[in-house]
Structure 1
């Protein structure tokens, strides 16, 4: 007996799960097809970014579903353990069981087939095998929903041939064009990152959310001026713009994702996904100091990368190189007046202030107050 993916999807919808992100797996193809056909689905470049995109959607009050192969579960460990767990940003997951014992499968799935359960348990994620019996499935979803309401992740492990077939509805391919590119034309001013963050914070208003990437960006922003519309990410390195994507697709507020060179290099596939979905209210700013500042100043390879051209080729509507704080302020004001998906790049000096502190607010409290801010008029 097989389970209707449409039946499962509609039951999920009745429980309020109306946002999906993930990476395809043949075992989950019918559920993914349902999500694409009937719900809001973001195709991600990797499983970790999919989890972060769902976390961003949850910040707006959306119950989210992430879909992945069990090999991709390893890619999602960082955000699941340091973002979702730490900030209490629950996600409902469906992970396939490739490499199940006794199943003829590809050799690369052999190990994951034996450790998928253990991996979920090590991450303190509640899980069950998804039943193909409709009545039992509904009971399982009720338990999963209780877990999400309790702000805890819940995953279903899905075996081969669980679902009835769902045909994917063909749609015209979406293509987003770059309309404005500004490249480097003069020497950089090289301000401190602290000065860039101060500029961003000064121009922030009650309709703007600032998302700061892992490390000293968030710590500096907190010291400059803490507020309820700031989010200081810890862990989950490289996921800040994916959080921004999930957030901006589900709110009318303006979202500024503050990235670092080391972080963006870690998950550059996010640029293509952002460019494809192209939310107009998302500004992605890269502050590049050519180093991993939080871990002792080790170098990154950002000096060898043309990020502005890459963002342009990925479909960002505007991709802009700014040379100094004055240009940055001008571009921020322009974006606030006429917001489109925009990438801004600025080089900064190495280093930070002495005795830099850390946010003294629990991460889940930062999340709670941001969610309250988002629903405010």
Structure 2
């Protein structure tokens, strides 16, 4: 069996020393090792973990790579970012996925019934997603050679996954003496003014954000759909990334970047997208506060609809996003009722040198720019130039 302390050193040698994921008993030694070495980001679902690891890779472009850990049941949850973020933008990550539901010599499931199908299709899912993979060997010398193969893929911009069988690793005790929590640094939650008549168009808000970010060299990540498309039409800039697919993952991607840089980072989200992965709020809040850089800003544009798919209703009217973010641990929440207030909130973000996550909530009109085009720049080009922008930290 592999001793995690030795295997961890081998991972460091190929630039893989920052982990995100969701716990699995088969991967407990890896997760415990990462927690003990202060290199683990606990995610609430596997898709968010993939996006966080991708942000780590993007910010350290081809120098070091994010590592994602998950049970094979969670691989299904991660398919969206794996296929539309990592593959499309060519952002490589290293993955370890457990093989729950492994078969015995007679072809029978040796695990719980919920793992039966995933035990058969785990490798097939990776193959279908065009992700190179191997079954991790429990012999250290063999595993080291496998890591070199993985590194060759990562260096070429391709993700690589290891499928991990039970008892591949020796046990690694979790240091329970570590106090990972802290008193929340929440300062302000503005009371929502239901009488506010401020209801701008999305593109009007994006014009302000694009100009402000350009003037202050802030990395700007826009959620998928019409938000990214409208931001592109405002002005195509090297400090902007337009998500395609990976709905709900923009703040997790931005968080992964935030933890690697001193640059200011803004994630522009949509209400429908955030509802899809609402658990990201607690991850964003905790790790932004833990790193205490004051450089993570989450902007939510809420038009109470699935605007990019025809304007169907969503469940946003039933959700007070400001309070949800507040009670998830965001340090400061701004509810915007004028462009002057938006400018004040952005200036607050720009001028802070410490602190946790902030949320800027803007209620906007339904609808979008007529004859809205699509970015002419490819996702790979967008990722490459964003990495170059971040490298000038």
* Band the TM-score falls in, shorter-chain normalisation: over 0.9
TM-superposed CA distance for 1:39, in Å, is 4.9
Distance 2:351 2:95 in 1: 38
Of residues 103-112 and 237-246 in structure 1, the stretch that sits farther from structure 2 once superposed is: 103-112
TM-score under structure 1 length normalisation? 0.98
1:275 aligned to which of 260, 265, 285 = 285
1:225 paired with 2:235, answer yes
Q: Distance in 2 between matches of 1:150 and 1:34?
A: 28
**2:196 aligned with 1:197:** no
Kept after mapping to 2: 8 A contact 1:278/1:315: no
Question: What's the offset of the Cα at 1:206?
Answer: 4.6
Q: TM-score, normalised by structure 2?
A: 0.94
Counterpart among 305, 308, 330 of residue 294 in structure 1: 308
CA contact (8 A) 1:184 1:323 kept: no
Aligned 8 A contact 1:20 1:39 in 2: no
Shift of 1:324: 2.3
The 10-residue stretch of structure 1 (253-262 or 180-189) with the greater mean CA deviation from structure 2: 180-189
Among candidates 230, 242, 256, match of residue 252 of structure 2: 242
1:190-240 deviation per Cα after TM superposition (whole angstroms, max 9, x unaligned): 000001111111211353011000000001101101110000000000000
- SS of the aligned residue for 2:361 comes to strand
Paired position in structure 2 for 1:324: 338
In structure 1, what is the equivalent of residue 387 of structure 2?
371
Q: Which runs of 5+ in 1 are unaligned?
A: none
Unaligned runs of 5+ in 2: none
How far apart, CA to CA, are the structure 1 residues paired with 2:383 and 2:149?
Answer: 24
CA RMSD of aligned residues (A): 1.1
Q: Deviations over 1:302-331 (max 9, x none)?
A: 011001001010110001211222211111
Picking from 166, 174, 179, the partner of 2:187 is 179
Match of 1:307 in 2: 321
Secondary structure class of the residue paired with 1:355: coil
Aligned residues: 376
201, 206, 219: which one pairs with 1:209?
Answer: 219
Q: Counterparts of 1:336 and 1:98 in 2: how far apart (Å)? A: 46
- 8 Å contact from structure 1 (residues 19, 63) kept in 2: yes
The yes-or-no answer on 1:343 pairing with 2:359 is yes
Cα pair 1:127 1:157 within 8 Å, conserved? yes
Q: In structure 2, how many angstroms separate the alpha carbons of the residues matched to 1:6 and 1:125?
A: 27
- 8 A contact 2:218–2:263 mirrored in 1: yes
Give a deviation string over 1:266-300, Cα, whole Å, max 9, x none: 00000011111125200000000111111111111
The SS at the match of 1:17 is: coil
Within 1, Cα distance between the matches of 2:19 and 2:81?
16
Equivalent residue, structure 1, for 2:13: 14
For 1:143 and 1:131, the matched residues in 2 are separated by 13
Q: Quick check: 1:178–1:312 contact (8 Å CA) kept in 2?
A: yes
Alignment of 1:48-87 (within 5 A): 48-61=47-60, 62-87=64-89
**Separation in 2, partners of 1:133, 1:308:** 50
Distance in 1, Cα, partners of 2:318 & 2:340: 25
- The answer to which of 54-63 and 69-78 deviates more is 54-63
Q: Which structure 1 residue ranges, 4+ long, deviate > 3 Å from structure 2?
A: none
**CA apart distance, 1:251:** 0.4
Counterparts of 2:10 and 2:134, CA distance in 1: 17
**Structure 1 residues 140-159: aligned runs within 5 Å:** 140-159=146-165
